C-alpha cells in the first residue's frame, strides 16, 4: 500500500488521541467510516458543534482507513493505551504534516542538542520557516504563527513526546514495549518499502531513537527470537515474523 503524507492544519487543532483509541475499541470492519463515527461518537458530546468538529477531524484523519487498520486491530485486541499511543504516534507522524517535520526534525534535534524546555516562542521560528517553504502563497499572521506553534506542542504532548501542562513542556522519556517495537519494525518497513532501510529510517525519531538505538533494540529482539537480525560488519539483514503490520496485529489478536 503506497503511503502519502498530507498537509493538514485542521488535525493539529485537536489531536483526539484518547477519542481515537475509544473509537477503535468499538470499531466494526463491516461498517463504513461514517457509520463507525456515528456509532462511536453517539452521546459523547452534548454540544452539536463540538460533535461536528470532532467528527470532521476524525473523518479527515481516517481518510485512508486501510492504513490505520493495524492500529484498529491492536486497540480491539486490548493493547494498553500507552503502548497503542506509541504506535499511533508513528502512524500520525508518517502521514501528517507539519507534525511530521516538527517531530522528526525540530524536536528530535533539539533534544539531541540538550534543550530542556519547549515553549511556544521556541517553536515559532520553525513554524515560520516550514510555512514559508510549504505555504508561501498563504503566509501566517502573528496569531496564526502562535496558534500553530501551540498546536504542535499540544499534539506532541498528547502523543507522548513532551510532558507537562504549563507554558513550558519538557521532553518525555519514550520506551517502546517489545510489541510496539515489532509493530514499528513492520510498519516502518512498509512505509520505507524495504527492510534494508529499516535501521536508518528517520521515522524512528518519532520515538527519539537513533540508528544505534534501533540496532540495539533489534539485537535484543533477535536474542529473544522475536525476529531475525543478522549483522556482518556494515551489512545488516532483518527478517520480520510477519508480512505486514496488519498481519502482525492480527497475530496478536488471534
3: pLDDT strictly greater than 90: no
Average pLDDT over residues 167-174: 96
Cell (9 digits) for 86:
506509541
State the pLDDT confidence band at 75, using cuts at 50, 70 and 90.
very high
> Which of 144, 89, 154, 153 shows the shortest CA–CA distance to 122?
153
Residue located via cell numbers 513532551: 162
> Which of 189, 216, 215 shows the shortest CA–CA distance to 203?
189
Residue located via cell numbers 506532541: 156
148 close to 131: Cβ distance less than 8 angstroms: yes
Q: Which residues pair with 96 in a beta bridge?
A: 6
Quick one: pLDDT at residue 93? Answer: 93
Order the strands of the 169-171 sheet from edge to edge.
117-118, 169-171, 162-163
246: pLDDT strictly greater than 90: yes
136: pLDDT strictly greater than 70: no
Peptide bond into 98 cis (omega under 30): yes
State the pLDDT confidence band at 47, using cuts at 50, 70 and 90.
confident
DSSP result, 121-184: HHHHHHHHHHHHHH-TTS---HHHHHHHHHHHHHHHHHTTSEE-SSSSEEE------HHHHHHH
C-alpha 19/C-alpha 40 separation (Å) is 9
Task: Look at 187 and 138; give whichever has higher pLDDT.
Answer: 187
pTM of the predicted model as reported, rounded to 2 decimal places: 0.94
Residue-wise pLDDT tens digits, 104-123: 999 999 999 999 999 999 99
58 close to 7: Cβ distance less than 8 angstroms: no
> Which of 36, 206, 179 shows the shortest CA–CA distance to 111?
206
Measured at the alpha carbon of residue 206, what is the angle toward residues 96 and 102, in degrees to the nearest 5? 55
Average pLDDT over residues 207-232: 96
> Which of 192, 164, 188 shows the shortest CA–CA distance to 176?
188
Amino acid at each position: 500500500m503506497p503511503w502519502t503524507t498530507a498537509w493538514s492544519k485542521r488535525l493539529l487543532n485537536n489531536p483526539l488521541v484518547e477519542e481515537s483509541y475509544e473509537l477503535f475499541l468499538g470499531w466494526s470492519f463491516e461498517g463504513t467510516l461514517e457509520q463507525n463515527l456515528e456509532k462511536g461518537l453517539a452521546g459523547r458530546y452534548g454540544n452539536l458543534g463540538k460533535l461536528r468538529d470532532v467528527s470532521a477531524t476524525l473523518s479527515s484523519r481516517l481518510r485512508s482507513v486501510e492504513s490505520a487498520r493495524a492500529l484498529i486491530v491492536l486497540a480491539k485486541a486490548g493493547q494498553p493505551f500507552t503502548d497503542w499511543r506509541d504506535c499511533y504516534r508513528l502512524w500520525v507522524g508518517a502521514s501528517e504534516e507539519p507534525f511530521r517535520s516538527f517531530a522528526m526534525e525540530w524536536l528530535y534535534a533539539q533534544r539531541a542538542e540538550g534543550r530542556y524546555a519547549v515553549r511556544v516562542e521556541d517553536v515559532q521560528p520553525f513554524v515560520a520557516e516550514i510555512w514559508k517553504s510549504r505555504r508561501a502563497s498563504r503566509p501566517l499572521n502573528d496569531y496564526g504563527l502562535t496558534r500553530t506553534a501551540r498546536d504542535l506542542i499540544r499534539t506532541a504532548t498528547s502523543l507522548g513526546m513532551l510532558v507537562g501542562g504549563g507554558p513550558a513542556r519538557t521532553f518525555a522519556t519514550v520506551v517502546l514495549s517489545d510489541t510496539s517495537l515489532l509493530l514499528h519494525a513492520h510498519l516502518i518497513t512498509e512505509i520505507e518499502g524495504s527492510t534494508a532501510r529499516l535501521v536508518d529510517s528517520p521515522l524512528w525519531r518519532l520515538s527519539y531513537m537513533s540508528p544505534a538505538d534501533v540496532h540495539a533494540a533489534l539485537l535484543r529482539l533477535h536474542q529473544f527470537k522475536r525476529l531475525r537480525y543478522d549483522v556482518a560488519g556494515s551489512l545488516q539483514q532483518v527478517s520480520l515474523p510477519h508480512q505486514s503490520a496488519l498481519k502482525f496485529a492480527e497475530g496478536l489478536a488471534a
